[in-house]
């Protein structure tokens, strides 16, 4: 990974990033894709729940809550 | 010829609102994904002919990820026309399902819903161009106000299944979607407004958790306030000032005998709406004056929570806790609905993804979530002893929910996937829609519950007259007394509880000499030991016989354990 790439789970609050790759299985990637989470999209962290709780993210002004484990399977590049 | 129209679309795009507009039928809609877990059927007049129209549960794609979505995908098979409802504020994501539908060769018309909100957000969609690119009719609609619905109806006959190049894989689909969106959609820059600020505050843990506690507290306070005032100012006045004199007259006319006992209560004793156990006294007073006010209050407040879009935020905040109980944050939805009535609560478990999650959610619902009918009666019964006793009942059930959840999470086999939930924007609830929705649910209660209670009272009278209930009380006397420190008659309440829990609590009131603590123990056990027959039937369907049997063993085991523990703690013997 380059200096600017990180896992979505590690992206700080309110930071924006571009999704570089999805590292889950086929089913996982598919499920993310249909909700708009896929390569090339600009993603922002809206909130992080404590104790490894879920993240709320925004893509094109649409918010979603995803589990922390899922956020570990998404590679992003800070912008 | 068009015989069957199916409404499809992503979750929370307003399909049910479109359905209500098209058919004039009323179905429950809310501002969170997954309100419709079952389908609703209705009729629409098209060129003077009735056409069947079906509201399918929302789905993001035709490759379903839960039971509700599976049901939606199945519904396509015999559709003559599909109305694809698209959320105009989220064109890109919604187009995926649209493309999948187009590949199925079913004639399609697209409703570009939430058109007003898209404009408000600074999103401009060239619907004519979209129509040209997709080669199917595209109609902008605002289902909430009815705008565009007429045009939608007149375009149903123009629905098309255009010849398209078959897209080989997802990548091609996304490329195609990107190409379409780029040509038809334009964004205006939008400033951070008050709504965004509230959205931030309610989902960030530091501010969100205190706000959530405040909202839940306020919600329950409001339910009690509305319920109590309806009883005090409206229903008790009616029953005591107008209805009682009528019944007293009737009592004189009927005179002593079995008919008097079954209709009014024992002849010669003072008429008591709660304890007389007559069809015209207790049979009407309990459902109408004791339960109905709280049902109205609860569903009014629930509608507010649903329509604003607060529930998915709450689901996010409680996800951590629910994950430890073997579910994820969305498990709070079946729980909240269950507080009104366990039947919709049990149906809502469908939005959870795995068998493990559904089993835990349904079992906890049946064990630890009292429905509003029961809660209202517990309030009525224990209120005179003080809030402490009501507090003990709910604290016990709350602790039980968590402990049992932790245990089941350890022992129930299967996966418990993480939360993955769309968070809709906040919307201002429309008073008219809220009142209408409250009324729809209240009407359901009136239709289902009042006959049950009315005739339930008659059955109890007959069972008393033939001595069955006395016999049952004596039979269970050793068990009830030996294990739980309760009188034998309490077992009759548990039996009636299978029919309806509110009636069962009503029966407890007729048992003489029960102490407040004994009433607390019975109230708790009445919640735990078994769901009412209506919930039971739904649970068998949702869980299957085998799992329902397991769930049943957990219920009975828990009821006995908790009963004994409470007896030791509360009665000290």
Q: What pLDDT shows up at residue B160?
A: 86
% of chain B with per-residue pLDDT over 90:
74
pLDDT tens column, B339-393: 999 999 999 999 899 999 999 999 999 999 999 999 999 999 999 899 999 999 9
Q: How many CB atoms lie within 10 A of CB B270?
A: 9
Task: For residue B93, list chain A residues with Cβ-Cβ distance below 8 A.
Answer: 34-36, 62
Going by pLDDT thresholds of 50, 70 and 90, the confidence category of residue B162 is: confident
Q: How many CB atoms lie within 10 A of CB B220?
A: 14
Q: Quick check: A2 pLDDT over 70?
A: no
Lowest mean per-residue pLDDT among A31-40, B166-175, B176-185, B313-322? B166-175
Cβ distance A35 to B420 less than 8 Å, yes or no, reads yes
Pairing of strands B81-87, B108-113: parallel
Which among B91, B84, B85, B83 has a CA at the least distance from the CA of B124? B91
Please say whether the beta carbons of B54 and B81 come within 8 A: no
Q: How far apart are CA A4 and CA A12, in angstroms?
A: 13
Q: How many CB atoms lie within 10 A of CB B470?
A: 14
pLDDT tens column, B258-293: 999 999 999 988 999 988 989 999 999 999 999 999
**Measured between CB atoms, does B64 come within 8 Å of chain A?**
no
**Facing residue for B320 by CB, picked from A31, A51, A56:** A51
**Measured between CB atoms, does B417 come within 8 Å of chain A?**
yes
* Residues 6 or more apart whose Cβ sits within 8 Å of residue B14: B29, B85, B87, B113, B114, B143, B144
Q: What pLDDT shows up at residue B281?
A: 94
Cβ distance A66 to B418 less than 8 Å, yes or no, reads yes
Q: Quick check: B471 pLDDT over 80?
A: yes
**Facing residue for B170 by CB, picked from A33, A46, A48:** A33
Cβ distance B418 to A70 less than 8 Å, yes or no, reads yes
**Facing residue for A67 by CB, picked from B63, B90, B420:** B420
Residue A66 C-alpha, separation from nearest chain B C-alpha, in angstroms = 5
Task: For residue B423, list chain A residues with Cβ-Cβ distance below 8 A.
Answer: 56, 63-65
**Measured between CB atoms, does B65 come within 8 Å of chain A?**
yes
Choosing among B63, B93, B330, B351, which should be mutated to test the A contact, i.e. which has the most A CBs within 10 A?
Answer: B93
Q: How many helices (H) and strands (E) does chain B have?
A: 28, 9
Q: Give me the DSSP letters along B386-447.
A: -HHHHHHHHHHHHHHHHHHHHHHHHHS-S--PPPEEEEPPP-PPPHHHHHHHHHHHHHHHHH
Task: For residue B199, list chain A residues with Cβ-Cβ distance below 8 A.
Answer: 63
Q: Is B213 exposed, middle or buried (0-12, 13-18, 19+ CB in 10 A)?
A: exposed
Residue with tokens 């598919």: A30
DSSP letter at A9? G
Task: For residue B316, list chain A residues with Cβ-Cβ distance below 8 A.
Answer: 47, 49, 54, 56, 65
- The complex's ipTM works out to 0.95
Lowest mean per-residue pLDDT among B170-179, B199-208, B544-553? B170-179
What is this structure's pTM?
0.91
Q: What pLDDT shows up at residue A1?
A: 54
Q: What pLDDT shows up at residue B48?
A: 85
Cβ distance B208 to A70 less than 8 Å, yes or no, reads no
pLDDT tens column, B301-331: 999 999 999 999 999 999 999 999 999 999 9
Cβ distance A67 to B418 less than 8 Å, yes or no, reads yes
Please say whether the beta carbons of B42 and B118 come within 8 A: no
Q: How far apart are CA B137 and CA B102, in angstroms?
A: 12
Cβ distance B90 to A36 less than 8 Å, yes or no, reads yes
pLDDT tens column, A3-41: 789 999 999 999 999 999 999 998 899 889 988 898 999
Q: Quick check: B103 pLDDT over 70?
A: yes
% of chain B with per-residue pLDDT over 70:
100
**Facing residue for B63 by CB, picked from A30, A48, A70:** A30
Instruction: Give CATH superfamily name and number for A5-78.
Output: Ferrous iron transport protein A (FeoA) (2.30.30.90)
**Which residue of chain B has the CA closest to A70?**
B418
pLDDT tens column, B70-88: 888 888 888 999 999 999 9
**Measured between CB atoms, does B60 come within 8 Å of chain A?**
yes
Domains and CATH numbers, chain B: 4-187 (3.40.50.300), 205-415+431-571 (no CATH)
Q: How far apart are CA B366 and CA B379, in angstroms?
A: 20
Cβ distance B320 to A64 less than 8 Å, yes or no, reads no
| Domain range annotation of chain A | 5-78
pLDDT, mean over chain B: 92
Q: How far apart are CA B446 and CA B299, in angstroms?
A: 13
pLDDT tens column, B200-241: 999 999 999 999 999 999 999 999 999 999 999 999 999 999
Cβ distance B96 to A34 less than 8 Å, yes or no, reads yes
């Amino acid at each position: 990974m380059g200096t600017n790439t990180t896992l979505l789970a590690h992206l700080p609050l309110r930071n924006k990033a571009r999704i570089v790759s999805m590292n889950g299985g086929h089913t996982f990637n598919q499920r993310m894709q249909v909700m708009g989470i896929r390569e090339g999209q600009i993603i922002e962290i809206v909130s992080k729940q404590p104790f490894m709780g879920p993240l709320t993210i925004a893509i094109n002004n649409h918010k979603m809550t995803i589990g922390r484990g899922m956020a570990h399977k998404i590679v992003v590049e800070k912008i | 010829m068009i015989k069957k129209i199916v409404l499809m679309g992503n979750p929370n795009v307003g399909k049910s609102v479109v359905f209500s507009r098209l058919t004039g039928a009323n179905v429950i809609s809310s501002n969170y994904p997954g309100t419709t877990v079952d389908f609703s059927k209705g009729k629409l007049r098209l060129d003077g002919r009735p056409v069947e129209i079906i509201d399918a549960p929302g789905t993001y794609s035709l490759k379903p990820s839960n039971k509700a979505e599976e049901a939606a995908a199945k519904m396509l098979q015999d559709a003559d026309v599909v109305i694809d409802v698209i959320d105009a504020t989220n064109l890109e994501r919604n187009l995926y399902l649209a493309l999948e539908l187009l590949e199925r060769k079913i004639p399609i018309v697209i409703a570009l819903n939430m058109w007003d909100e898209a404009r408000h957000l600074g999103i401009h969609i060239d619907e004519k161009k979209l129509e040209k690119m997709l080669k199917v009719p595209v109609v902008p609609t605002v289902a909430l106000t009815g705008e565009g619905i007429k045009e939608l109806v007149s375009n149903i006959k123009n629905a098309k299944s255009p010849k398209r190049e078959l897209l080989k894989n997802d990548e091609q689909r996304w490329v195609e979607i990107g190409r379409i969106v780029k040509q038809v959609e334009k964004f205006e820059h939008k400033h951070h407004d008050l709504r965004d600020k509230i959205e931030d505050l309610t989902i960030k843990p530091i501010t969100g958790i205190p706000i959530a506690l405040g909202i839940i507290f306020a919600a329950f306070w409001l339910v009690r306030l509305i319920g109590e005032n309806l009883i005090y100012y409206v229903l008790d006045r009616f029953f005591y000032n107008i209805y009682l004199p009528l019944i007293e007259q009737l009592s004189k006319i009927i005179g002593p005998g079995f008919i008097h006992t079954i209709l009014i209560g024992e002849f010669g004793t003072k008429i008591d709406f709660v304890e007389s156990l007559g069809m015209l006294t207790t049979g009407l007073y309990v459902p109408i004056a004791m339960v109905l006010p709280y049902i109205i209050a609860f569903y009014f407040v629930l509608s507010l929570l649903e329509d604003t879009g607060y529930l998915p935020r709450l689901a996010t905040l409680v996800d951590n806790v629910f994950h430890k109980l073997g579910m994820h944050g969305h498990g709070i939805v079946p729980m909240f609905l269950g507080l009104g009535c366990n039947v919709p609560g049990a149906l809502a478990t469908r939005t959870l993804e795995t068998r493990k999650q559904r089993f835990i959610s349904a079992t906890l619902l049946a064990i630890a979530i009292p429905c509003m009918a029961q809660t209202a009666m517990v309030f009525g019964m224990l209120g005179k002893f003080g809030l402490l006793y009501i507090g003990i009942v709910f604290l016990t059930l709350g602790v039980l929910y968590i402990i049992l959840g932790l245990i089941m999470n350890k022992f129930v086999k299967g996966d418990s996937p993480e939360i993955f939930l769309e968070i809709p924007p906040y919307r201002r609830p429309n008073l008219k829609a809220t009142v209408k929705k409250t009324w729809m649910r209240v009407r359901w209660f009136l239709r289902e519950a009042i006959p049950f209670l009315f005739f339930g009272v008659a059955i109890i009278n007959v069972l008393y007259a033939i001595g069955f209930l006395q016999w049952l009380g004596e039979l269970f006397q050793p068990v009830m007394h030996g294990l739980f420190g309760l009188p034998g008659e309490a077992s009759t309440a548990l039996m009636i509880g299978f029919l309806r829990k509110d009636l069962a609590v009503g029966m407890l009131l007729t048992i003489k000499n029960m102490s407040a603590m004994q009433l607390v123990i019975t109230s708790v056990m009445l919640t735990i030991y078994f769901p009412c027959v209506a919930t039971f039937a739904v649970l068998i369907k949702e869980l299957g016989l085998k799992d329902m049997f397991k769930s049943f063993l957990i219920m009975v085991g828990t009821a006995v354990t908790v009963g004994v523990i409470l007896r030791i703690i509360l009665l000290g013997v």
